[in-house]
Chain A
Amino acid sequence: MALDKPYKDVPGTTIFDADQARKGYWLNQFCMSLMKAENRERFKADQRAYLDEWPMTEEQKQAVMAVDLNRCIQLGGNIYFLSKLGATHGKSFQQMAGSMTGMTEQEYRDLMIQGGRSVEGNRRIGEDGDAQAQHQPQGAAGKKARG
């Protein structure tokens, strides 16, 4: 019997469960390797060559090279592992988190200073909050895209 996953209906959110962890095992283990300064240097010098040492999928490698954290998470990555990739590129957690919303760094920083994202409309898929699929990307990019 399949186990209940009540967290599947939270918008804009991927819960890192055992299924995701299995899918992302090598992606996340690659990220762990970036805890060593010499590996960070080697990765930065030739990302493709470094990634080819790992049995990751091509999709995962492309997402890593694009630093597309949303895509990395869909493919089994977890933010605490991916943060090593961000750190290697000199990014803070705030820059990493903001990058997943489509907002500019300043827009996301302002959102946090103003008290953060509201939970209203963002509890369940199908509501109308700013984290819902129909409102992506957020910020100026979204306004431009949607006219």
Chain B
Amino acid sequence: MARITASVYCSHVPAIGAAIDLGKTEEPYWKPLFAGFDFSKKWIKEHLPDVILLVYNDHANAFSLDIVPTFAIGTAAEFQVADEGWGPRPVPNVIGHPDLASHIAQSVIQDDFDLTIVNKMEVDHGLTVPLNLMFGSPGAWPCRVIPFPVNVVLYPVPSGRRCLALGHALRKAITSYDEPLKVQVWGTGGMSHQLQGPRAGLINKKWDNEFLDRLIADPEAQAAVPHIEYVREAGSEGIELVMWLIARGAMSDKPPKVVHRFYHVPGSNTAIGNLILENQT
């Protein structure tokens, strides 16, 4: 049977992608940020999964305002990289796992989570930047990736409670897959940031760190926090953090092993977080 070995949490700022693409990672502004991922890169080499279920949000690239699915799963064999307006990022296409993705869709939908099934979709920085931060810039991504976009752009977005429960349903789905695959579930986005209006540039280190504490030790408590608190405390785009609860919910009920925790301000407009939790056997 497939098993979930770990979950990874990671911010996904487009400027990080640009810094990588333009060779700026050693510049003083970016160096401390990328240094925070040195351990993560080493760790993932030693703990390479077969498949990553990558929870992220599309930033008006795959989905226009015509159709905005709350939860979707990419079931394609391959996903191309979107042109977000600056030209497509020079990163490899993402190779999916259609069979596992379809299995997950069938299981999770029968568990009352009405996923939208997406057979053709481009992926944006929300998905590719975390891959770069964890894997660097290889010629091909070293494992399969199932994109799992969540709407956090058009309000209302799904509640923390719903996200955590979806994580539980994903755990059940993945661990009932017959092939003995090692699977990681990643939650991306955040941390505190606001990209609009006179309040742009908001950062809340205290709130972000309390979020990390609760995500690790008491995800149920974090799941009870309403949207408005994310907006007020962590900025209008900080709401992306609800997606981390999906990955957390996919972990076992036993307390996880915290193997890495990193926090840095700023990455462009954003507080950058990276957390790695291993399932205890």
Contact = CB atoms under 8 A, between A and B. Distances in A.
Contact of B200 (A16, A32, A100): A100
B84 A29 contact: no
The size class of the interface chain A forms with chain B is: 35 or more
Contact of A25 (B61, B65, B207, B231): B65
Interface in B153-188: 153-156
A79 B195 contact: yes
A94 B268 contact: yes
Contact of A94 (B65, B82, B227, B269): B269
B199 A94 contact: no
Contact of B198 (A25, A29, A88, A138): A138
Given A35-B83, A83-B59, A123-B232, A12 B155 contact: no
A144 B41 CA distance: 48
B117 interface: no
Interface string A53-84: 00000000000000001100100001111011
Closest 5 CB pairs of A and B: A116-B203, A87-B85, A12-B198, A12-B199, A131-B199
A13 B199 contact: yes
Interface string B72-93: 0000000000111111000000
Interface in A77-129: 78-81, 83-88, 92-94, 96-98, 100-102, 108, 111-113, 115-119, 122-124
Interface in B56-106: 59-61, 64-66, 82-87
A34 interface: yes
A29 to B, nearest CB: 6
A11 B199 contact: yes
A35 B61 contact: yes
29 contacts: A11-B199, A14-B236, A15-B155, A16-B154, A21-B65, A21-B154, A25-B65, A69-B196, A79-B196, A79-B237, A80-B60, A81-B65, A93-B14, A93-B195, A97-B195, A98-B200, A108-B201, A115-B265, A115-B266, A116-B201, A116-B265, A116-B266, A116-B269, A118-B202, A122-B199, A124-B232, A133-B198, A136-B198, A138-B198
B228 interface: yes
Given A80-B59, A92-B268, A12 B154 contact: no
Contacts of A24: 65
Contacts of A117: 194, 199-203
B266 A113 contact: yes
Between A24, A86, A97, A138, the greatest number of chain B beta carbons within 10 A of the residue's beta carbon is seen for A97
Interface in A1-53: 6-7, 10-18, 21, 24-25, 28-29, 31-32, 34-37, 40
A87 B231 contact: no
B233 interface: yes
Contacts of A131: 197-199, 202
B210 to A, nearest CB: 13
Given A28-B60, A37-B83, A123-B233, A14 B197 contact: yes
